[in-house]
Amino acid sequence: MTDLEFLSLLNAVDFPRLYWELCDRFPVGLGPARPLGWKEAIIAAFQEMGVNPRYERSERYFVFEEEEIGGFTWHGSLFMQRYDVELIFSGQSQDAHLGTVLAVLAYDAKRLADPTFKRDRVTGPPPYPRPAYNGDLAALKGIVREFVSLVRLVKDAIRRQEGKKGESEQARAE
């Protein structure tokens, strides 16, 4: 899979709209920075979704839903920041890396579909928004649950695309 194929796949599942709607549901506001219990809240939200994440303590991030599909090992990563979270989806093969933070993926996918598209902080919403929990542990859990759903949506689309590739290769071989 190439970068362009990956971005096209994101457009096929309407990823930019879904991600920006997530950001709209959890806008930046005022709240305390990283409240007590944040790690437990994240783990609880993952567990509610049937996910057992791996926690990397040194960088304060969680890795989850690791799965090999089409020669890439795909996974989601959640980096805990002071007021918001950085959400990442990526895949790694022997000689390629696809994916990055969801804010960039959404913008790049939309720009691929419509090169004239532009989000502008002055005339509209910022180009690279992130969902913010604003010190609210319930909001943080909501963000985690929606992030897991987005990761699963994209992985399902990758599986479907890889299945179609396999069918085409099989048909050519016959």
Q: Is the pLDDT of residue 32 over 80?
A: no
Residue at 72 is within a domain? yes
Q: Model's pTM, two decimal places?
A: 0.91
Residue at 29 is within a domain? yes
CA nearest to 78, candidates 65, 95, 67: 65
Residue at 173 is within a domain? no
In this structure, which long-range contacts are made by residues 9-15, counting pairs with CB atoms below 8 Å and at least 24 apart in sequence? Answer: 9/154, 9/157, 9/158, 9/161, 10/105, 10/106, 10/109, 10/154, 11/109, 11/110, 11/112, 11/113, 12/157, 13/153, 13/154, 13/157, 15/105, 15/106, 15/109, 15/150, 15/153, 15/154
CA nearest to 19, candidates 1, 30, 7: 7
Residue at 142 is within a domain? yes
Burial class (CB in 10 A: 0-12, 13-18, 19+), 94: exposed
Residue at 65 is within a domain? yes
How does residue 83 score in pLDDT terms, banded at 50, 70 and 90? confident
What is residue 167's predicted lDDT score, i.e. its pLDDT?
A: 65
What is residue 26's predicted lDDT score, i.e. its pLDDT?
A: 93
Q: Is the pLDDT of residue 165 over 90?
A: no
Residues 6+ apart with CB under 8 A from 85: 78, 79, 130, 131, 133, 140, 143, 144, 147
Residue at 86 is within a domain? yes
Number of domains forming the structure of the chain: 1
Residue at 170 is within a domain? no
What is residue 128's predicted lDDT score, i.e. its pLDDT?
A: 85
Structure tokens at 112: 């691929």
Q: What is the pLDDT of residues 58-73, one digit of tens each?
A: 888 999 999 999 999 9
Expressed as residue numbers, the domain containing 137 is 3-164
Compute CA distances 80 → 40, 72, 151, whole Å. 12, 25, 17
How does residue 35 score in pLDDT terms, banded at 50, 70 and 90? confident
What is residue 172's predicted lDDT score, i.e. its pLDDT?
A: 62
Lowest mean pLDDT among 46-50, 83-87, 161-165: 161-165
How does residue 147 score in pLDDT terms, banded at 50, 70 and 90? very high
Residue at 39 is within a domain? yes
